[in-house]
Chains A and B, each alone.
Chain A
Amino acid sequence: MYKIVRKKELNPTVTLMDIEAPMIAKKAEPGQFIILRVDEEGERIPLTVADFDREKGTVTIIFQIVGATTEKLNHKNEGEYIQDFVGPLGVASHTDGLKKVAVVGGGVGCAIAYPIAKKLHNLGCEVHSIVGFRNKDLVILEDEFKAVSDKLCMMTDDGSHGEKGLVTQALRKLIESGEKYDEVIAIGPLVMMKFVVAVTKEFGIKTVVSMNPIMIDGTGMCGGCRLTVGGETKFACVDGPDFDGFLVDFDEAMDRGTMYKPFERHKHEETCNLFAKEVK
């Protein structure tokens, strides 16, 4: 059992938790993920490591409430425990030798983009962060990004905070204004990453994307997380989750991500109804 030592609501649908897991905290690096199970009957879900404190022995996760499992997780409080927590899994993000990088985060993907921006910043790399949200109420980690970025572009779809527009527009503007990046790191919804790659391809800037497909074990056993990269089948859990954005087949990945949509919707509703009953 793994203790929740801190819980913080970042916005109405996104929650942060620090989980006591000293062995994982000791090893975790940005870009890696963990797999958790909330309770004995729960499913295994992957969540990317949002931060870690090696001294305190805690790992930070940030999750959006989208289904039954995240709903159940969000009902847990500080001091309570979750059943299983395993990691760090996957390959850490590559940061060696980077001098100037644009980190692009979309929505809850910013939770994954942030530790990478922080690591690059600590390594002395110039970091330009471009973060996008649907509206002002959904913005997360703004101060954190500010602290580690040499430049921060805050974008919202409706212009209620920062600039109105998409992250791709901001990225294009920066590139066209003459900013020369060694690499662009994009983390967010698949469709966002697909369009970031469409921009960077035009300018020939190497782009790394972080994939988050459906998976069970996270150690290469099930093959459920497979995706096509440069015409080859890769397992996101052991070969990734970071991949060369120019080579990823995003359309296939988007399709595969919808496999259990009806089930997930149904389960989520069921869970919400259950919690509603408990309240009554």
Chain B
Amino acid sequence: MPNMSPKKNPMPTQDPKERSCNFKEVALGYTKEMAVDEAQRCLNCKNKPCVSGCPVGISIPDFIAKVAVEDFDGAYDIITKSSSLPAVCGRVCPQENQCEGKCVRGIKTEAVGIGRLERFVADWHNEHSTAAPVKPEPNGHKVAVIGAGPSGLTCAGDLAKMGYDVTIYEALHLAGGVLVYGIPEFRLPKSIVQKEVDGLKALGVKVITNTVVGKTISVDELFEDEGFEAVFIGSGAGLPRFMGIPGENLKGVYSANEFLTRVNLMKAYKEDSDTPIKKNKSVAVVGGGNVAMDAARCAKRLGAENVYIVYRRSEAEMPARKEEVEHAKEEGIIFKTLNNPIEVMGGDDKFVNGLKCVEMELGEPDESGRRRPVVKANSEFILDVDCVVMSIGTSPNPLIKNTTKGIETNKHGCFICNEDGLTSREGVYAGGDAVTGAATVILAMGAGKTAAKAMDEYIKAKN
């Protein structure tokens, strides 16, 4: 008989007051008892709607059934058949729109906490397992992966498991992509990312950092000089957008990328870091996505008294996960929705000293289906801030596009691929944000997975 409790086991979290002053993980994870209890809420439906909501198709009811009988290693084996980064996905996937969004229990009550269970299983494994991963039998074929973010790591992992000799090229000094430079420590501890990367290395994957493909080495050279038979491009969407309003180049205006990179990758929040970050009293973060929430919550932790989210639509239209919005509010982030900046103000010293905004109201739906925000007349006001973080989206990096012949991109600069991730050039596959524009970690992982399968078929067919 399943556990018919209408509510999910709540996730234990650090107290909001305490956590808004530290960078330690907010969500503490289920205990063994909570996990087993939660697993028993699964009805083990025959048609498994949850699986259809998972971009990598994890056999969700099967792994949950193992958790219910306390076979956590068994649960881990089921998850890792489909996912290479379970400890990451259990933390950052928008489960409410994916697996949990399809859960039958969610129709009348709360869905089964699938994400929380996935995280529990992965953490259990990392803590208890001593079994070294089995290195697969080499098949003698070389493939290259560009970018060590979610799509690249997944693609590399899947190919390595098939026996390929895989090399990942990473532009930064550390592997992980957005998992290390973007998502903050308090949401995804970097030691977890490092563990996943180490796991790939144990499978035989080579990770070469400090290599910018398109500059240090070209895609053509990867084929001709290095002898790779296929290449996967997972270079992400790293180019920050700005609003184009006056004052955006004043000191104290950051792109979310720069702000988060300084904090997360370069550890500017630590006293002994050599990388500086401006200490601020009041910070406005412009945008309503997960990245904006991350930036706002980092600003709070760096000691800002007032942190505002400035978003031109209403909270209902915010693209950020509900959980992130709630966490941000608990930590004291002030939401200025239906507000739009029109100018960054600065003093004689050229440092930011205010953000001029207008109030908005929602009109008719636009092409995105969301109601279009329109400016309210005579609604100008100045928000008293000394730092502005622009978090209004990113575009794909043009470095590879500009230095590689025969790879087509669309008007947004995204690589054009077929459903297998194949670009317009033979042997070159792509996936993740470089193809879709800024999206989620799990979608990128799904794309890496699809491409790995197609690359394997391509190489097999050729030989």
Assess whether B238 is in contact with A219, with CB atoms less than 8 Å apart. Answer: yes
Assess whether A264 is in contact with B276, with CB atoms less than 8 Å apart. Answer: yes
Assess whether A263 is in contact with B216, with CB atoms less than 8 Å apart. Answer: no
Assess whether B251 is in contact with A255, with CB atoms less than 8 Å apart. Answer: yes
- A29-58 CB mask vs B (1 if < 8 Å, else 0) is 000000001000111100000000000000
Assess whether A216 is in contact with B261, with CB atoms less than 8 Å apart. Answer: yes
Stretch from B196-204, B267-275, B301-309, B450-458 that touches the partner: B267-275
Is A240 among interface residues, defined by CB-CB distance under 8 A?
Answer: no
Interface hub of B254, B274, B276, B397 (most chain A Cβ within 10 A): B274
Assess whether A223 is in contact with B272, with CB atoms less than 8 Å apart. Answer: no
A residues in contact with B212, CB < 8 Å: 86-87, 89, 219
Assess whether B273 is in contact with A41, with CB atoms less than 8 Å apart. Answer: yes
A37 in complex: contacting residue of B173, B181, B239, CB < 8 Å: B173
B216 in complex: contacting residue of A88, A223, A226, CB < 8 Å: A88
Assess whether B261 is in contact with A217, with CB atoms less than 8 Å apart. Answer: yes
Assess whether B261 is in contact with A221, with CB atoms less than 8 Å apart. Answer: yes
Is B433 among interface residues, defined by CB-CB distance under 8 A?
Answer: no
A233-B242 CB under 8 A given contacts A217-B261, A219-B171, A227-B249: yes
Number of interface residues of A (CB under 8 A): 39
Assess whether B242 is in contact with A24, with CB atoms less than 8 Å apart. Answer: no
Residues of B participating in the A interface, judged by any CB pair closer than 8 Å: 171-173, 181, 209-212, 215-217, 238-240, 242, 244, 248-249, 251-252, 254-255, 257-258, 261-262, 266-267, 272-276, 278, 350, 397-399
A216-B258 CB under 8 A given contacts A84-B209, A233-B248: yes
A222-B258 CB under 8 A given contacts A23-B211, A86-B173, A89-B215: yes
A104 to B87, CA, bound (A): 55
Describe B's contact surface by its main secondary structure: loop
Q: A44-B275, A223-B239, A223-B254 are in contact. List 5 more A-B contacts (CB 8 A).
A: A23-B211, A41-B274, A89-B212, A221-B238, A259-B278
Q: List 3 tightest A-B contacts by C-beta distance, closest first.
A: A222-B258, A263-B276, A223-B255
A228 to B244, CA, bound (A): 12
A260 in complex: contacting residue of B209, B211, B276, B397, CB < 8 Å: B276
- How many whole Å from B276's CB to the nearest CB in chain A? 4
A41-B239 CB under 8 A given contacts A23-B211, A226-B249, A228-B249: no
Assess whether A86 is in contact with B171, with CB atoms less than 8 Å apart. Answer: yes
- How many whole Å from B391's CB to the nearest CB in chain A? 12
Assess whether B242 is in contact with A223, with CB atoms less than 8 Å apart. Answer: yes
A224 to B277, CA, bound (A): 12
Assess whether B209 is in contact with A220, with CB atoms less than 8 Å apart. Answer: no
- How many whole Å from A270's CB to the nearest CB in chain B? 9
Least CB separation from A228: chain B residue = B249
A228 to B239, CA, bound (A): 17
